[in-house]
Structure 1
Amino acid sequence: MVLRKLSAAAVGFSALVGLSACAPVVVVEPQPHATDPACADVMLRLPEVIGDHEKRKASSQATAAWGDPSAVVLRCGGEMPGPSTDHCVRADDVDWVSREGEGDTWIFETYGRSPSVELTLDTTKIAGAEALSALSAAVQQIEAQRECVGAEDVNGEAPEGEG
């Protein structure tokens, strides 16, 4: 009787492993500080869906992806970026430095938070504002230590032609 129960359990486990092996895993290179406990707090609060894109399993610690093929890829555990001339945007009290990636991708990295969180977005599949807004509650688990400043914040005046 015990042998029969063990056999049934083994068959059930094998079926579960077989099914999980069919799900496509997104291969994502981890950030250098992916083991930082703050990243675990972020990962626990990530949404299951961003826009029309469902969350998929990613290959590395402190990484996530949404969409098939991936529309959004998140990596937690980067170095906090220093001052930059790259464009900075604020979405739901989170500052993000943005730069163009390859093809139709944009890369957004949190500014003023350590460790940093990096997003790579396929702009043909999702708008940056939608993804940033969907992830802001999770990213806010990492305390902001700095915020972006513009030229008007540095010298008290707006650049010519603005303001």
Structure 2
Amino acid sequence: MSTRHRAQRRTSAVLTIVLGAGIALAGCTPIVSLQPAADANDPGCAEVSVRLPDSVAGKAERQTDAQATGAWGDPTSVLLRCGVPPIGPTTKPCVSVNGVDWVLMTDPDAKTIVYQTFGRTPATEVVIDHVSGVSDSAVLPEFASAIQTITQTSKCLSTLDTSLTPTPTPTPTPTP
């Protein structure tokens, strides 16, 4: 057998092993199937998508099958979708984390929590599975640099920031 023929067989064997390992590893973490948001094709979502972190709250990123989405953890603990319709003024709880305003869209005691950005178009939603042991405070800061690529046009106010008591009207004092 010639040296060239042995080198070709060796190369072929190495490629077979590498491809086999790739297929085996791909089978360990299947693609996360998600529905893209209505405005997932907005250029702002492209900016967010390329800046998503490799891990969130210690959970590794997973591949998704929808534009402008992200998933972390196996089983999945955190999901992200960019391009959801923005919300207007709301009485739902709002929190600012690293310069990004988030509105809590679900019951805070639910097993799965949904946050949505406020004052940014397109808006982004993040779903956090509390059953997996991941906390909001470990997740939301991870997305700040990606979300901040979309300009914030308005701020949300916590109900603690607004006054429910009327501002007193000054009474004119008579002059002598």
For normalisation by structure 2, the TM-score amounts to 0.76
> What does 1:101-140 align with in structure 2 at a 5 Å threshold?
103-124=110-131, 125-140=133-148
Is the contact between residue 45 and residue 138 of structure 1 (CA under 8 Å) also seen in structure 2? yes
**One-letter amino acid of the counterpart of residue 138, structure 2:** E
Q: Which amino acid aligns with 2:123?
A: S
Unaligned stretches of 5+ residues in structure 2: 166-176
Match of 1:94 among 87, 97, 100: 100
Instruction: Give 1:3-42 correspondences, 5 Å limit.
Output: 8=12, 15=20, 18-19=23-24, 21-22=26-27, 23-42=29-48
Task: Find out whether 1:158 has 2:130 as its counterpart.
Answer: no
How far is the alpha carbon of 1:131 from its aligned partner? 0.5
Say which one has the larger Rg: 2
8 Å CA contact 2:61–2:72 kept in 1: the answer is yes
Cα distance, 1:69 vs. partner? 1.0
Relative to the length of structure 1, the TM-score reads 0.81
Partners of 1:57 and 1:65 within 8 A in 2: yes
| Residue matched to 1:144 | 152
The aligned amino acid for 1:44 is V
Going from structure 1 to structure 2, the CA distance change for 1:52 and 1:10 (only over 3 Å counts) comes to: closer
- Distance in 2 between the 1:16 and 1:30 partners? 30
Count residues in correspondence: 155
Q: Deviations over 1:62-92 (max 9, x none)?
A: 0011111111100001111111111111000
User: Counterparts of 2:44 and 2:16 in 1: how far apart (Å)?
Assistant: 38
Which amino acid counterpart does residue 83 of structure 1 have in structure 2?
P
Say what the alpha-carbon RMSD is for the aligned residues: 2.7
Which ranges of structure 1 fall in alignment gaps of 5 or more residues? none
Per-residue CA deviations over 1:42-76 (Å, capped at 9, x if unaligned) read 11111111122110111111001111111110000
Q: Classify the secondary structure of the residue corresponding to 2:105.
A: strand
1:50 paired residue number: 56
Aligned-pair identity in percent equals 32
